Copies of this chain bind each other. A is one copy, B any other.
Amino acid sequence: MNAQIIAVGSELLTPLRVDTNSLAITERLNAVGIDVRLKAVVGDDRTELARVFRQAIAQVDLVVLTGGLGPTSDDVTRDAVAEVLRLPLDEDPAIVERIRQRFAARGWQMPAINRQQGQVPRGAVVLPNANGTAPGLWIEHGAVMVLLLPGPPRELMPILDRVIEARLAPKTGGRRLYRRVLKITGRAESHVEERAQPVYVRWRDAEPPISTTILAALGQIELHLALISGDRARAGEALDRAVGELVAALGDSVYSTDGRTLEQVVGGLLREKALHIATAESCTGGLLASRLTDVPGSSDYVDRGVVCYSNRAKVELLGVPESLIAEFGAVSEPVAEAMARGIRDRAGVDLGVGITGIAGPGGGSEAKPVGTVAVAAAWGALTMVKTFRFIGAREQVKHQAAQSGLDMVRRMLLAPPR
């Protein structure tokens, strides 16, 4: 079964807003084995929408329209759909009454224009909207199914989920899409591809076939595996086996196979080992600490962090010897190590991280160009330190440096001190 998504709204044709609803809708449709073949964005223009909708019903099995169900004259979706399908619009008193009650609950009278939201193309199924005034509508027109949904995500998603379970999943014969995501850091995309490709090509012709997509961003690579199957247990087994083979090929560069972020994985390891951590940051400016503390409950293992932008702060807050800075420079492995040990000892915690580097755009030199970052971690007698050369603008360098700091802690916790 295949689908087209039509997002309605003139604001989606400006530089200010992009249609993101279609991502969540696609995910839900894919999950029950429905492919999205086309997406369109149309303004609040009844003639234009009618034209696009008329083409859509000639091409696909399911047309999902979002937005344009409000009470104003700009809201044209109901009218355009009814016109194309040649269905008269009837007022549904139950819808109008529900809207009236929503307003009454806040002590307001329903504005007259909201009555328009009670108009229903004859024969359509009304899909109640718990979070807004505009209900969804479901229309079966010959072999084509049409679904009208309100635009706001918190109104749209609950209606969509119910429709998928009640009306779409039964038509796809229990076939569903199952996914796994491997998250990888500390490796170049080409390296990951080189290792992963010989593994995943074998599944493309397997039964059922598993498709693989690589998504690369600075400091992070994701491998998305997907499989369509009518048998949940068999799909789960096939994906588990595939994930296992990829992890064997890629080793400890894979930090997550269950959707967790790097900071969640690091937090989980710290919690499991009942360790406390403290951070000392220069060029990342607090980003490492901020990411660590994005995780709920992180106050259980994050004790403190310091951001030492000035050399004086490095000396005062971390006890980094001035002579070390003078000899090697503020951006150097010895200073990163001294920062990691300094914060660990001063905070009296188990594990310290130190990051010092040149985020740019200024401050680079031939020997230490912009993007040079020294990262160190110290845990008991064990110290790790490494110098990176990151590419990208200031915020990208910060992001990659924080990512490397987190990953160094992760690797250290996986390979405990002997």
Listed in ascending order, the chain A residues whose CB lies under 8 Å from chain B are: 11-20, 22-24, 26-27, 30, 35-43, 45, 48, 51-52, 55, 59, 213, 215, 224, 279, 281, 284-290, 292-294, 296-299, 302-310, 312-313, 317, 347, 359-363, 394-395, 398
Which residues from B are CB-within-8-Å of A303?
309-310, 312-313
Q: A286-B305, A307-B307 are in contact. List 8 more A-B contacts (CB 8 A).
A: A13-B36, A294-B398, A304-B306, A304-B307, A304-B308, A304-B309, A304-B310, A317-B317
Please list 17 pairs of residues, one from A and one from B, whose beta carbons are closer than 8 Å in the complex, sorted by A's number. Answer: A13-B38, A15-B26, A16-B213, A16-B224, A37-B45, A55-B55, A279-B286, A285-B305, A286-B293, A286-B307, A294-B395, A296-B394, A297-B362, A304-B310, A305-B307, A313-B347, A317-B317
Which residues from B are CB-within-8-Å of A395?
294
Whether A285 and B296, one on each chain, are in contact in the complex, defined by CB atoms closer than 8 angstroms, is no
Q: Name the contact of A306 in the complex, choosing from B35, B299, B317 (C-beta under 8 A).
A: B317
**Chain B residue nearest to A317 in the complex (CB):** B304
Task: Take A18-B20, A38-B40 as given contacts and tell me if A293 and B279 are in contact as well, using a CB distance cutoff of 8 Å.
Answer: no
Whether A279 and B302, one on each chain, are in contact in the complex, defined by CB atoms closer than 8 angstroms, is no
**Chain B residue nearest to A348 in the complex (CB):** B312
Complex-state Cα separation, A373 to B26, whole angstroms:
38
Complex-state Cα separation, A223 to B104, whole angstroms:
31
**Chain B residue nearest to A281 in the complex (CB):** B286
Complex-state Cα separation, A19 to B36, whole angstroms:
15
Interface centre among A22, A52, A55, A289 (most CB of B within 10 A): A289
Report the copy number of this chain in the oligomer. 2
Which residues from B are CB-within-8-Å of A18?
18-20, 22-23
Complex-state Cα separation, A165 to B35, whole angstroms:
40
Whether A296 and B23, one on each chain, are in contact in the complex, defined by CB atoms closer than 8 angstroms, is no
Whether A37 and B43, one on each chain, are in contact in the complex, defined by CB atoms closer than 8 angstroms, is yes
Complex-state Cα separation, A288 to B286, whole angstroms:
8
Which residues from B are CB-within-8-Å of A289?
285-286, 307
A241 smallest CB distance to B (angstroms)? 23
Whether B394 and A294, one on each chain, are in contact in the complex, defined by CB atoms closer than 8 angstroms, is yes
Whether B43 and A27, one on each chain, are in contact in the complex, defined by CB atoms closer than 8 angstroms, is no
Whether B304 and A360, one on each chain, are in contact in the complex, defined by CB atoms closer than 8 angstroms, is no
A7 smallest CB distance to B (angstroms)? 9
Which residues from B are CB-within-8-Å of A296?
360-362, 394
Complex-state Cα separation, A281 to B347, whole angstroms:
16
Which residues from B are CB-within-8-Å of A298?
285, 309
Which residues from B are CB-within-8-Å of A40?
38-41
A128 smallest CB distance to B (angstroms)? 25
Which residues from B are CB-within-8-Å of A11?
213
* 8 residue pairs, one from A and one from B, having the closest CB atoms: A285-B293, A286-B286, A286-B289, A305-B307, A15-B27, A304-B313, A286-B290, A39-B41
